[in-house]
Amino acid sequence: MVLALGAGSLNIQAGGAYQQPKDFVREAFGGAPPEPSRLWIDAALKAQIRQVLERDLGVLRLRYWGKDHRTAWILDEIGKERPITTGIVVENGTIERITVLVFRESRGFEVRYPFFTDQFRGARLREGLDLDREIDGISGATLSVRALTKLARLALLLHDHSDFAGGR
């Protein structure tokens, strides 16, 4: 499940809520976030999303924040049972940061730590919509690692289709 959290409230109450999405967006733009934009999911993008997630997104559009050649996305993906809410910033077609905002699974919490998420910094999409690098996993957290890797690829793909994609 991937949610356009921007469509609803940006406040989350959950056991493993490490940062509120609105705070992530504010931080991503130095305290002055732009007005949210919306990305419509057309047929071509839908097919690419299916390639990344191995299923449809299930929404018509996604809310995101963009300025210059930089975009911020709040995306969810299920690891094993429950969605992991993630904030991702993309600049000029590369991952600038990926932050686990809410983790609801029983196992695999390690994916929230910088020692893991730092591996995504600078990652780009290569042919086949894969990341241009190998992401080392965490034993016992395979599904959480896989979920975050998918979300990183998805954010890069969405950035490319956004109004702020120039400059790659």
List of residues contacting another protein (CB under 8 A): 7, 13-18, 58-61, 78, 80-82, 104, 106, 109-110, 113-116, 119, 134-143, 146
70 versus 144: smaller Cβ distance to another protein: 144
Instruction: Give me the least distance between CB of 168 and another protein, in Å please.
Output: 24
68 versus 118: smaller Cβ distance to another protein: 118
17 versus 165: smaller Cβ distance to another protein: 17
Give the separation between CA 47 and CA 57, rounded to whole angstroms.
10
Which residues face 100 on adjacent strands?
86
Instruction: Give me the least distance between CB of 138 and another protein, in Å please.
Output: 5
Residue 90: in which H helix or E strand, if any? strand 83-91
Count of CB atoms situated within 10 Å of the CB of 1: 13
Instruction: Give me the least distance between CB of 70 and another protein, in Å please.
Output: 25
- Maximum CA pair distance of the chain? 40
Q: What is the token pair recorded at 161? A: 């289709």
